[in-house]
Chains A and B, each alone.
Chain A
Amino acid sequence: MQKTVSLTVNGRPVSATVEGRTLLVQLLREQLGLTGTHVGCDTSQCGACVVHVDGEAVKSCTLLALQAEGRSVLTIEGVATGDTLHPMQEAFRNNHALQCGFCTPGMVMSALDLVKNNPNPTEREVREYLEGNLCRCTGYHTIVLAILEGAAVMRGEAPPANVHGAAAE
């Protein structure tokens, strides 16, 4: 059953023809070419596919494209402003919070969702909020630091002292 779905993706209105079973992540990756959103599992656990729908983090592998009709979807491709990284993306970079990069888009989208709901999280709260995002590279250590830094910058505060003293290239 082919249907047309219309939604906003990263601020742009888009329409596509999908099947009933087409998942939002398939629409994004395969039809809209937005391959920044990843699929790392088939049981809705890894969180590599997290996007925002109407401002809330959801797993795009567990949402039908048709369920997003009329909604506003934000993917990792829409987070930076032009060439300028969002403070959360910048914090991930400063803290070496990514290695292979595969879980990173979902991590950033979850981090933004966390800060929206809890602008000043503790380390424990960050760790618990990441329950639905798996990373196999970092041991989460630097992801937690990055989210704390990103949250601080988003609050308008000076970032906490960077543990690595990371240097720009």
Chain B
Amino acid sequence: MTTVGAPVRRREDYRFLTGQGTYTDDINRPNQLYAYILRSPHAHARIDGIDSAAAAKAPGVVAVFTGKDMAADGVGGLPCGWLVHSKDGSPMKEPPHPPLAIDRVRHVGDPVAVVIGETLAQAREAADLVEIDYGEEPAVVDPAEALKPTAPLVFSDVPGNLCYDWSLGDLAAVDAAFARAARIVKLDLVNNRLVPNAMEPRAAIGEFYRATGEYTLFTTSQNPHVIRLLMGAFVLHIPEAKLRVVAPDVGGGFGSKIYHYAEEAIVTWAAGKLRRPVKWTAERSESFMSDAHGRDHVTHVELALDADAKFLALKVSTIANMGAYLSTFAPCIPTYLYGTLLAGTYPTPAIYVETKAVFTHTVPVDAYRGAGRPEATFLLERIVDLAADELGIDPAELRRRNFIPADAFPYQTPVALQYDSGDYQTTLEMATSAADYAGCEERRRAAMARGKLRGIGIATYIEACGIAPSAVVGSLGARAGLYESAAIRVHPTGSVTVMTGSHSHGQGHETTFSQLVADRLGIPIENVEIVHGDTAKIPYGMGTNGSRSLAVGGTAIVKAMDKVIAKGKKIAAHLLEAAEADIEFADGKFTVAGTDRSKTLGEVALTAYVPHNYPEDLEPGLDETAFYDPKNFTFPSGAYVAEVEIDPETGRLEIVNFTAADDFGNIINPMIVAGQVHGGLAQGIGQAVLEGCVYDKATGQLLTGSYNDYAMPRADDLPSFRLSTHATPCTHNPLGVKGCGEAGAIGAPAALTNAIVDALRPLGVRHVDMPATPEKLWRVIQQHRSPLAAE
């Protein structure tokens, strides 16, 4: 009755399909108040005064709080969870980040005051009466502009707006390789800023219980324990034992719900002050200006090749936008999740990368699906395609010629990582064959006859997932460990509750983890219950991000099951009057090896809880907890092929085919894995052709502040996807799994951009920045001589 590897339908679906999910905004607490947060309309301004007297007297208003009120009460700033050092050894600049701005606002949407009322409408209306005296100052939103000496400063004590100037790799080796290169290919590119846009807007409800002094925060989080630690220890100074954080059903995260946000601290603190629950739910327009954004890099890349078109060295220089404050994990994204991935699928012997992280008057930038790895993949796969073009070699062939061979694992890259397994050749062949790569020329000619420009593009990718070995990330500046926890509680009659530190906000853990447990413990899947998202119920866990849940959280579950089975063997040995070493566990039964004498898991569990006939030196109960700290990252990889047609008259693009071949190691539920790939691809395609966050350079206003202006992928923008998988199991976790959540978003932008450039290659186009909107493509076509017009 094994279910591992089977497309088991999701156990969570019934409640979602019948409207019975419980998202944070679905929760209402008795006697609850509502918070409305006033946000800066300016990108950069002094706060010269706040007069809230009239608002405080408005109908239904219970309180108006400002940043000064919170500071006076000892509330701390929002902490950053990662310390990056510059190449000169100095620590990054880490300016304060108060939950409510105190004397200066630094981006449109920066929270300034909170009005708390009996109803949301009353709070909202009273907010109009709060008079904030702003002294507007010049703003800078573009990361490259921010480094210029004339740029306005985001923080007066951060010269040049430079947070850090980091590097990785052997510059001397790279320079030497460039000196002897047969060819050097160069490219300037932009990795466009994105807004994550989980469909559920963020929400938070703070609650304080006078009788016990305990606080509860319900919040839209991917990692409730991380929020409890950061908010409890650094911001509100509430002991963990008095603070419970619940992340119930969460409507998508994609990274944006990892971080500790101001609103969580505001409602929790206000609940304590007012002794009543306080609820806040973001309007979508607030989400646009307060959820951490993603990407936003400006990069120069150079690739050196020898006479055989083998990659000799890669040199990358990036300016990364941090936004106005350091979000929780922001500093590590354009460094340790980016520079370390620049080997990609290639054995390039020398790599050097430097990243200047800058402050600007924009929403903070942090991890968004892929987080650093899409940026690395994009530049690498673009420069490889450009090299192929310049050398007149087919892009697939150039990649084949340069792949790390399948027999070279474990493979140590020059940028710190050691890949444990992979087979890049096979996934490339699978993808190109499924996409009929060879037949593209014919399709291109047929399209040309219809007046369309057709192109095909390949991207391979590697990602570092299963985040992460604590000692490694600790040495790189992480202020947290990145293990995961699980507790297995076998109940007296043999049903099982699993408490996991991972958090599901769409990933289907209730199904995948149940499959894993049912399979391993040999019990029906209906007898397994997965509990997550509540610090009062689960062991300390790091939550879900970085495609880590199965590789790290799933392994913690395996380790906890190992402990259950080990203890069960002792009990079974006693019951069966056999030696413990002779007891085998399989199919839900403890059996004396070589006999038919056995006890079921249920019988053993009942004995553990009703220990009338029980080993003398053994504790009762069958309830085990395990923590698993991974030994290495996992390295999913794959190859994507995109095919597009462009209407040269309008610049309108159609994605005619999208083919993926991924190596995620072993797979528990292929249906869920496919869904993860689909979603990642959609977000990657969105980045490539639709999505781009735009700030007005003069005023710092957010111009893409709603779905009227920020183009979200819709059903008719996307093709059906063709997927396949090939497994080279991970060698260092017992499941052999690698993670699949981010792959699509990592590989798709480069594949699609390569296809677009391929379609435009006959015109002499060598690069198009993302998003390749119709007008952008039309302009590029206009700027080059049209072969269609020449006919």
> A: which residues have CB within 8 A of B?
19, 21, 29-30, 34-43, 45-46, 48, 75-77, 79-80, 85, 89, 92-94, 96, 98-105, 108, 123-124, 126-128, 130-131, 133-144, 164-169
Contact = CB atoms under 8 A, between A and B. Distances in A.
Given A93-B9, A99-B508, A139 B200 contact: no
B12 interface: yes
B672 interface: yes
B131 interface: no
B254 interface: yes
Interface in B237-272: 249-252, 254
B89 interface: no
A17 B461 CA distance: 57
B18 A99 contact: no
Contacts, number: 205
A42 B283 contact: yes
A77 B26 CA distance: 14
B95 interface: no
A126 B19 contact: no
Given A38-B23, A143-B715, A102 B674 contact: no
Interface in B473-523: 505-508, 511, 514
A92 B10 CA distance: 10
Nearest to B515: A169
B229 interface: no
Contacts of B199: 38, 40, 46, 48, 100, 102-103, 134-137
A104 B19 CA distance: 9
A136 B679 contact: yes
A46 B287 CA distance: 14
A100 B506 contact: yes
Given A139-B721, A167-B9, A102 B14 contact: no
28 contacts: A21-B121, A29-B26, A39-B25, A39-B201, A40-B284, A42-B706, A43-B285, A46-B199, A79-B18, A93-B9, A96-B675, A99-B252, A99-B506, A101-B251, A101-B506, A126-B715, A127-B716, A131-B716, A134-B199, A134-B707, A134-B712, A135-B199, A136-B682, A137-B252, A137-B679, A143-B715, A144-B715, A164-B670
Q: Which 10 A-B pairs have the closest CB atoms?
A: A36-B19, A101-B16, A102-B251, A139-B682, A100-B506, A99-B506, A139-B678, A76-B19, A35-B26, A130-B715
A102 B17 contact: no
B743 to A, nearest CB: 12
Contacts of A36: 18-21
Contacts of B681: 139
A166 B714 contact: no
B124 to A, nearest CB: 11
Nearest to B721: A141
A100 B250 contact: yes
B718 A141 contact: yes
Contacts of B714: 130-131, 134, 140
Interface string B638-680: 0000000000000000000000000000000011101100111
Contacts of A136: 197-199, 252, 254, 679, 682-683, 712
Contacts of B6: 167
A83 B18 CA distance: 9
A38 B200 contact: yes
Interface in B666-725: 670-672, 674-675, 678-683, 706-708, 712-716, 718, 720-721
B525 interface: yes
A37 B524 CA distance: 33
Contacts of B390: none
Interface of B: 3, 6-23, 25-26, 28, 121, 197-201, 249-252, 254, 283-285, 505-508, 511, 514, 525-526, 670-672, 674-675, 678-683, 706-708, 712-716, 718, 720-721, 744
A102 B284 CA distance: 14
A46 B12 CA distance: 23
B23 A164 contact: no
Contacts of B284: 40-43, 46
A138 B26 contact: no
A167 B198 CA distance: 28
B19 A105 contact: yes
A77 B20 CA distance: 8
Contacts of A80: 17-18
A140 B8 CA distance: 20
Contacts of B680: 139
A75 B19 contact: yes
A43 B708 contact: yes
B675 A101 contact: no
Nearest to A92: B17
Contacts of B679: 99, 136-139
Contacts of B671: 96, 164, 166
Given A100-B198, A134-B199, A76 B675 contact: no
Contact of A100 (B197, B505, B715): B505
A139 B686 CA distance: 10
Contacts of B198: 100, 102, 136
B241 to A, nearest CB: 31
B116 to A, nearest CB: 18
Contacts of A142: 674-675, 678
Nearest to A124: B716
Given A40-B201, A100-B252, A128 B716 contact: yes
Contacts of A133: 715
A29 to B, nearest CB: 8
B200 to A, nearest CB: 4
A18 B26 CA distance: 19
Nearest to A90: B17
A104 B718 CA distance: 18
A143 B683 CA distance: 16
Nearest to A145: B720
Nearest to B26: A35
B720 A123 contact: yes
A127 B679 CA distance: 16
Contacts of A35: 19, 22-23, 25-26
Contacts of B17: 76, 80, 85, 89, 92-93, 98, 101, 104, 108
A166 B744 CA distance: 22
A38 B506 CA distance: 16
Between A35, A77, A108, A168, the greatest number of chain B beta carbons within 10 A of the residue's beta carbon is seen for A35
A169 to B, nearest CB: 5
B675 A138 contact: yes
A58 B706 CA distance: 20
A53 B305 CA distance: 64
Contact of B10 (A93, A134, A140): A93
A142 B19 CA distance: 19
Nearest to A93: B13
A100 B251 contact: yes
A16 B308 CA distance: 77
Contacts of B251: 38, 40, 100-103
Nearest to B712: A134
Greatest chain A CB density within 10 A among B19, B197, B525 is at B19
Nearest to A79: B18
A166 B12 CA distance: 15
A121 to B, nearest CB: 12
A130 B715 CA distance: 6
Given A37-B19, A46-B199, A96 B718 contact: no
Residue with the highest number of chain A CB atoms closer than 10 Å, among B199, B249, B683, B713? B199
Contacts of B672: 96
A169 B9 contact: yes
Contacts of B9: 93-94, 96, 166-169
Among A76, A79, A102, A142, which residue has the most Cβ atoms of chain B within 10 A?
Answer: A102
Given A45-B706, A96-B671, A130-B714, 7 more contacts: A43-B707, A43-B708, A101-B251, A105-B19, A124-B716, A139-B721, A167-B6
